[in-house]
Amino acid sequence: MSPQTLLQSVQCCNQWWLRLFFFTVLLICGQSAGTLLGRLYFNEGGKSKWMAALVQPAGFPILILLLIIFHIFPSSCKAKDSKFFVSLFTLASLYFSFLGLVSGGLTMMYTYGLCYLPVSTYALICSTQLAFNAVFAFYINSQKFTALILNSVVLLTTSAALLVVGVDNTNSKGGSDKQKFLLGFIFTIGGCAIYALVLSVTQHLLQKVLKSVTPVVILEQMILQSFAASAVCAVGLFASGEWKTMATEIHDYRLGKTSYVMTLVWTAVSWQVYTIGSFGLLFEVSSLFTNVIGTVALPIVPVLAVFFFDDKLNGVKVVAMLLVIWGFLSYIYQHYLDDLKSKKAFKKISDENTECPPCV
């Protein structure tokens, strides 16, 4: 390989790590802020579960602005080239009719969990989606497991499981009602399983069916999926009759009318930030890695709850945070080893190969 081609390969891999870091920050910040704002909505007098579910995908117009920017300033270097043109009809049929509608149901399932469960218990149950995704990724995406990846999965799952130790299930709205607690548990764990399946199916569709994973296509998928999910939640809001009580809910919101609106607006923005980070990691790496980063964010929520909801930061949560850091570094180190292996392989490529090789 010529020095120019080798330099291009190294630069491409360095850019990949920067993109990985960027999407990781978006996912962690978006998930943490969205979860805390969702809890704030219910704690301060919010009662409409359909409204709480609707605001999660309803911020998709932000993605339209990003799509316009991509069209005005097209990227000169793409990580993965599109093999054929994907029509809007194909995207709509796949993502509106299936993934979009399923996402609408998922938001409602997670809303019930967040409403009826304490934050720490909710985070614990959400960590199970990593185990679900590991199974789905193995069978659907042919995900290879190394000792470091398995170590990461075990550590991250264990760290989230520790959060439930010493937590009083009556410290949150609905926690003392056993029936609601059980309902929240069922909805949350069911949502985790379905969400893990959706991630694996999405990766499979991108790589095997659509065979097009450019940033523009990713944004189009996110917009259509969020639009469909918003439509499902909007129909549920009106069909359930909860829209009739919105005026009373706004008036009775303990933080005031302005805070009520801002809570919903920033919840919508936060979950779109999470969506961008989630799809970005799915695009750059895999569905399993996306879930690993999502699990990293789970113990952060109880720590932030110490400042926002007067939760106690005990030794168990500190240990959970240390396990999260260990598990995260374990997974990143595996990708670092893969990166080194790829760079060694680049040197053996003939000078005639001028394409930018994959980083993973």
> What is the 3-state secondary structure of 203-246?
HHHHHHHHCCCCHHHHHHHHHHHHHHHHHHHHHHHHHCCHHHHH
pLDDT at res. 83: 40
pLDDT at res. 171: 46
Identify whether the C-beta of residue 318 lies closer than 8 Å to the C-beta of residue 53: no
> What is the 3-state secondary structure of 244-256?
HHHHHHHHHCCCC
| Number of Cβ atoms within 10 Å of the Cβ of 271 | 26
The tens place of each residue's pLDDT in the chain, 360 residues long, gives 444 454 455 455 667 778 888 888 999 899 888 888 988 898 888 888 899 999 988 998 888 888 888 777 665 444 344 443 445 555 555 555 567 778 888 888 988 888 887 776 677 677 767 777 777 877 887 777 778 778 877 876 777 667 555 454 444 444 446 788 788 888 988 888 888 888 787 777 766 766 656 667 777 777 887 888 888 889 989 988 888 888 888 988 988 889 999 999 999 999 999 988 887 887 777 766 777 777 777 667 767 777 776 666 677 767 777 777 787 777 777 767 776 776 666 556 544 455 555 544
CA distances from 47 to 52, 145, 181, 318 (A): 8, 43, 16, 33
pLDDT at res. 341: 73
Counting every residue, how long is the chain?
360
Contacts for 196 with CB less than 8 Å, ≥ 6 apart: 129, 130, 132, 133, 136, 287, 291
This prediction's pTM: 0.71
Contacts for 312 with CB less than 8 Å, ≥ 6 apart: 306
- Location of structure tokens 């996306």: 290
User: For residues 260 and 44, what is the distance between their CA atoms, to the nearest angstrom?
Assistant: 9
pLDDT at res. 270: 93
Identify whether the C-beta of residue 300 lies closer than 8 Å to the C-beta of residue 124: no
User: For residues 162 and 157, what is the distance between their CA atoms, to the nearest angstrom?
Assistant: 9
pLDDT at res. 267: 93
CA distances from 104 to 84, 224, 229, 278, 350 (A): 29, 12, 4, 17, 49
